[in-house]
C-alpha cells in the first residue's frame, strides 16, 4: 500500500485566515486539527484543536484547573469570542508543530514510522509542490486492519 492509495481529502486553512474560521472548520467537520497552508499554498504546519482551545481558556484557569468548575455555563459559552480578530498565524504554537509530508509513492510502513517519529496522527501528501490530501492515523489503521479480518 502506498500513500497514493491511502490519501484522503483533508481540509486546510490559510495562515492568514480568521482563527474563528479554523474553529468552525474543526467543529463542523469533527476534526482534531487542520493543516495550515502558507501564502504560496504549501503546507506550513498543523493547528491542533487543543492549541486553539489554549487560546480561549483563560490563563488563570489553565494554571489551576479547579477554577474551571466555578465558571458558569453562560460565560463558558462565550469563550470562543476571544478568537475574534485573530488570524491563524496568531494562534499557532510558538514552537510550530511541523507537518509530516510524504510523496504519493511512500509506503504504509514509511508513513507509520513518520507518524511515530513526528508524534503526529496526520501526514500531508504532496505530489511535487501540489497538496493532494492527507493520511490520518485512523485512516491508516482502517486500511491496515482490513487485511487482518
Q: What is the pLDDT of residue 38?
A: 92
What are the phi and psi torsion angles at 122 (to 5°)?
-140, 130
Lowest mean pLDDT among 2-16, 18-32, 47-61, 71-85: 71-85
C-alpha–C-alpha distance, residues 134 and 66, integer Å:
38
How does pLDDT run across 71-120, given as a tens digit for each residue?
777 665 677 788 889 999 999 987 766 788 999 999 999 999 999 998 88
Q: What is the pLDDT of residue 96?
A: 66
Q: What is the pLDDT of residue 76?
A: 58
Say if residues 99 and 38 touch (Cβ distance below 8 Å): no
3-state secondary structure of 126: strand
Q: What is the pLDDT of residue 149?
A: 62
C-alpha–C-alpha distance, residues 68 and 73, integer Å:
10
Range of the domain at 125: 3-146
Closest CA to 43 of 143, 132, 137: 132
Lowest mean pLDDT among 22-36, 53-67, 104-118: 53-67
Report the CATH number at residue 140: 3.10.580.10
- Total tally of structural domains belonging to the chain: 1
What are the phi and psi torsion angles at 21 (to 5°)?
-65, -35
pTM: 0.82
Q: What is the pLDDT of residue 77?
A: 63
Question: How confident is the model over 55-60, as a mean pLDDT?
Answer: 83
Amino acid at each position: 500500500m502506498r500513500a497514493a492509495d491511502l490519501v484522503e481529502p483533508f481540509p486546510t486553512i490559510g495562515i492568514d485566515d480568521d482563527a474563528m474560521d479554523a474553529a468552525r472548520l474543526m467543529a463542523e467537520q469533527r476534526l482534531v486539527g487542520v493543516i495550515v497552508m502558507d501564502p504560496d499554498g504549501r503546507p506550513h504546519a498543523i493547528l491542533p484543536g487543543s492549541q486553539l482551545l489554549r487560546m480561549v481558556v483563560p490563563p488563570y484557569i489553565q494554571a489551576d484547573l479547579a477554577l474551571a468548575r466555578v465558571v458558569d455555563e453562560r460565560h463558558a459559552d462565550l469563550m470562543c469570542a476571544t478568537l475574534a480578530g485573530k488570524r491563524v498565524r496568531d494562534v499557532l504554537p510558538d514552537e510550530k508543530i511541523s507537518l509530516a509530508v510524504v510523496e504519493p509513492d511512500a509506503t504504509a510502513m514509511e508513513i507509520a514510522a513518520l507518524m511515530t517519529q513526528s508524534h503526529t496522527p496526520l501526514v500531508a501528501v504532496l505530489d511535487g509542490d501540489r497538496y493532494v490530501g492527507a493520511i490520518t492515523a485512523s485512516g491508516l489503521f482502517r486500511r491496515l486492519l482490513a487485511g487482518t479480518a
